[in-house]
Amino acid sequence: MAGVMGWPVMHSRSPKIHNYWLGKHGLAGAYMPLAIKSDGLHAALRALPALGFAGCNLTIPHKETAFDIVDRVDPVARRVGAINCVVVAPDGSLEGRNYDGFGYVQSILDAWPEWRADAGPIAVIGAGGAARAVLVSLADQDAKEIRLVNRTPAPAQAVAQEFGPPVKAVAWDHRHAALEGTAMLVNTTSQGMAGQPALDLALDKLPASALVSDIIYIPQETPLLTAARLRGNRTVNGLGMLLHQARPAFHAWFGVMPQVTAELRAMIEATI
Ligand code: ATR
């Protein structure tokens, strides 16, 4: 068994994704939403081995606080500063991992197999938790220059300082100009999400050859992606990141590396 711990958690698509794969691979198991408040996380995680769980995903508000509870944290999760997957080891100890960055890169490759992180400068908008996973994955794919733009200067400067090259902070006022000569633009902010205003970013300086990605998947096409598509840029939305981060987690728990099929994608799209 596995599940996702969060509060709130009932909106999570993860049960649908993992239960689809359990069925597909004929495995006798179940993946369930686990509504756990912050003050219950320690007891809930420690109960996993006794309950026969192989592990769990973590979502808001647990991704950072789990650091103080698990027994080990893998290097990627440590660099990201967040745990999105907990694996129960044979001895009952808990290991924290983070597959969000893997999911991000795989979602881009899934849509554009010829994509390379080192094709040219990359502009990343936002410096929050989601941005950190994207930055780690792009740096590990050998990105040569990442222009990190955040509305508030301090978080971008802190992340640039912590990660070092290829990440460098660019002032919010320079965000439009920062797109000049880029091969890729990524939005990791909440702007453009359903109920939120569009990201305030003019694409005039963005090369037509640039790939534009948004980690949002509700709506499936944000105003940023619509604007990019209409001027001829290639685009990728955030649904692939959600689907692909689940693959190595499923593998860690159930021993099979599952695939993101058109059927699975359509099934999740139907819930959006
Ligand atoms: P997550 O973990 O999903 O990344 P987060 O850590 O709260 O969430 O980060 C949200 C990101 O969206 C931040 O980069 C934030 O910028 P600030 O650091 O300036 O808050 C960005 N963001 C939120 N609202 C924004 C807005 N109206 N315009 C531009 N960026 C915004």
pLDDT for residue 187: 98
* Residues annotated catalytic, as ranges: 63
- Please report the atom of ligand 1 found closest to the CA of residue 63: 2
Beta strands, E only, the chain? 2-6, 31-35, 55-58, 72-73, 85-88, 94-97, 122-125, 146-149, 167-170, 184-187, 211-214, 234-236
Structure confidence by residue, pLDDT tens digits, 168-203: 999 999 999 999 999 999 999 999 999 999 999 999
For tokens 């939005």, name the residue. 187
Q: What is the set of domains in the chain, with CATH numbers?
A: 2-98+242-269 (3.40.50.10860), 101-237 (3.40.50.720)
What are 102-115's pLDDT values in tens digits?
999 999 999 999 99
pTM above 0.75, yes or no: yes
The answer to whether the Cα torsion of 95, 137, 166, 236 is positive or negative is negative
User: pLDDT-derived band of residue 215, with 50, 70 and 90 as boundaries?
Assistant: very high
pLDDT band at 122 (very low <50, low <70, confident <90, very high): very high
The percent of residues in the chain predicted with pLDDT above 70, rounded, is 100
pLDDT of residue 235: 98
To test the pocket of ligand 1, the residue of 83, 135, 151 to mutate (highest count of ligand atoms within 8 Å of its CB) is 151
What is the distance in A from the centroid of ligand 1 to the CA of 222? 16
**Going by CA atoms, what residue is nearest to atom 3 of ligand 1?**
130
Closest atom, ligand 1, to C-alpha of 127: 14
